[in-house]
Structure 1
């Protein structure tokens, strides 16, 4: 009698180790973290020094504009350049330029020759560097770990960045007070050496094939735009990310400060609320690195829908602690969503266009932020409750739109 052939069970997919066991990722993460800690000296010293030089909030706004305008204008070009050459080399170049700029400011301040126009040049230089470095970072991350490791890798990095932003500015301020503002800039300049050294030791990845003809930068930008337009899930999630930044950045920054001032007349209450958002965001980022998503599309639109609902009721919740608890939940949903979106698009997008797609996502975030701040400032003077209600409804509507897209629901 003939026997049926034995059924050979397909091997289970190999479980990859955590990115923190990946030598290249750990090397980059260590260098980037030390550089990020040094950046806290710059973040604290820059506005303080501008106010010392001028005593004018208008000058502080001018410094922000000097950084923001070239960052937004050149962001798409930065993504195209990141795809044409090595992201690693581009990050090394921008880190070197930043180190020179910050070091020069420290030396000028030390010598007593610093003028406000130097600060305008510094901010402009940083804005230009941001436009090229920021799209390079996701492409660099994609070359360090396997696609399945990207959620955990993004969770580690974004959580580290959040912790540095929460914990480091106060010690940086104390060191600046003890040693002087010049040392703050010099220490930041020195910290870039850790990032440059880490990048120096990492392997290279070049998106373009050797010997292949390279299109013009303008053609590369058009190719990146066409890639996003023709990818329906990517296009829908880019819209969701843009709406989240547009309707949450301004209300949470300006709206919460306004509510704290009107209700409690104390900056302490505002600090408690901001800390609640940060703590919740950190928790969401950590959860995103641990939880393995099977229906990521449904989870993302569900999380953003709930986030929109909670945003719409912020202005109606009385008391300090209830609002803080609500903000912690919102931060958790926001942190979870941001990590998952970042990891998904890094997994999905072809490496050859990853820099350009990343530049579009960052342009949606940073390009819309001034509009978000301006809109929130105008709306909060009309009604804080109305502002949060409009923002929440907008986020929920876009989330429902995403949920209605079959390709978005099918995202794994």
Structure 2
């Protein structure tokens, strides 16, 4: 593994603007869930209220994700991302005003969350596809690692900051600050001028081209298919049953918070290593990292001892960071530039579509078979599914591309 220069992408003007925009956007993203949850509770005490608002964003995002990928490829990723950030900021500002003035009703929050989900369906694929256009291809690892470092730092500070804002100035004003981050992120994208792909087919035709590429690229559909199952196990296992397991044991809320903190430490540690070392064979190491990511699920099934859980959490954080970088590099270096947002939209669809299934199914399973048994089986299944992808030579042998050209080029397949 050769050394790399972590700060090299910051010498690229377009990347600097995108990096600043994304960093500001991440601050808002990590504040928003806390602020929105407390805003919803101010408006309604119905047990389903928070879930309804969250689902109102997620469902339209899933429905429109593939169309969003087509639009990003056709109209220009920077333009689509600017519009997505702008509308998201305005919709969040509307929520903030309604909450601050005390006139908000639950249906207001649901409708505005749905609007946010629709524009995010275009923004997410555009965001995934923009990086190869703003840095030379031989700096893709450095660019992705810099973005990951920002995410790791904000992940530690963002939720706590949102909690302090909710306590000090109220949920409405916390949402107003979140809205401001979206709007600032949009403005910072204005200097990023990138053209789209000239439309050669109808939107249906573009969707078909994206699907044809997806289904005939074995490493892509294998990993996305695996991720669909893994996300259901992770969201339903660790994030849904994990807090319940902690609450019903000696861990408590403090122990659960410590587990998540150590996971964040693992992410940060891996990011610092990857700032210096080039990641070869991105999917081979990435899927091993993904398998390691499942360790805390299994560990919680077998033990509530922090001496076991904290190292598992730290390794988990490091593993998901290796996978995240490996996956981004695999997509950005191997998918044709004109199809990247469409391919990313299939990736995002696979990421989100099974999450509600895991969230809804794990509770009844735990009630029927015991939370420890379900967590242990889910964790073992997680590791097995991740490692099974390495049986495919297309996944195991995918290598890094060697680029010397300026941004915009991509290998043709």
Answer whether TM exceeds 0.5 for this pair. Answer: yes
Deviation at 1:18, TM superposition (A): 2.4
Instruction: State the Cα deviation string for residues 310-348 of structure 1 (Å, max 9, x = none).
Output: 753442134123211111112211221122112211111
Match for residue 207 of structure 2?
A: 221
Match for residue 134 of structure 2?
A: 144
**Does 2:226 correspond to 1:198?**
no
The total of aligned residue pairs comes to 396
Q: Which runs of no fewer than 5 residues in structure 2 stay unpaired?
A: 400-413
Checking the alignment, whether the CA contact within 8 Å between 1:282 and 1:332 is kept in structure 2 is yes
Q: Give the alignment of 1:152-171 within 5 angstroms.
A: 152-171=142-161
Deviation at 1:242, TM superposition (A): 2.6
Match for residue 284 of structure 1?
A: 270
Distance 1:115 1:253, change over 3 A: same
Instruction: State the Cα deviation string for residues 360-382 of structure 1 (Å, max 9, x = none).
Output: 11111111111121232233332
Q: Which runs of no fewer than 5 residues in structure 1 stay unpaired?
A: 1-13
Checking the alignment, whether the CA contact within 8 Å between 1:154 and 1:289 is kept in structure 2 is no
**Take 2:291 and 2:103, find their aligned partners in 1: how far apart are those partners?**
53
**Take 1:268 and 1:103, find their aligned partners in 2: how far apart are those partners?**
33
Instruction: State the Cα deviation string for residues 132-177 of structure 1 (Å, max 9, x = none).
Output: 1011101111211223322222222133223223212222332333
**Does 2:111 correspond to 1:124?**
no
Match for residue 6 of structure 1?
A: none
SS at match of 1:168: helix
**Take 1:47 and 1:109, find their aligned partners in 2: how far apart are those partners?**
12
Checking the alignment, whether the CA contact within 8 Å between 1:308 and 1:395 is kept in structure 2 is yes
Match for residue 405 of structure 2?
A: none
Larger radius of gyration: 1
Of 174, 185, 189, which residue of structure 2 is paired with 1:184?
A: 174
Match for residue 59 of structure 2?
A: 69
Match for residue 392 of structure 2?
A: 405
Checking the alignment, whether the CA contact within 8 Å between 2:302 and 2:376 is kept in structure 1 is no
**Does 2:71 correspond to 1:81?**
yes
CA RMSD of aligned residues (A): 2.4
Checking the alignment, whether the CA contact within 8 Å between 1:314 and 1:326 is kept in structure 2 is no
> More displaced, 278-287 or 115-124?
278-287
**Take 1:398 and 1:149, find their aligned partners in 2: how far apart are those partners?**
31
Match for residue 344 of structure 1?
A: 330
**Take 2:139 and 2:273, find their aligned partners in 1: how far apart are those partners?**
14
Deviation at 1:279, TM superposition (A): 1.7
Checking the alignment, whether the CA contact within 8 Å between 1:256 and 1:273 is kept in structure 2 is no
**Does 2:279 correspond to 1:293?**
yes
Deviation at 1:204, TM superposition (A): 1.0
TM superposition outliers: structure 1 runs of 4+ over 6 Å:
14-17
Match for residue 162 of structure 2?
A: 172
Deviation at 1:111, TM superposition (A): 3.3
TM score, norm. by length of structure 2 = 0.88
TM score, norm. by length of structure 1 = 0.88
SS at match of 2:279: coil
Checking the alignment, whether the CA contact within 8 Å between 1:246 and 1:372 is kept in structure 2 is yes
Match for residue 133 of structure 1?
A: 123
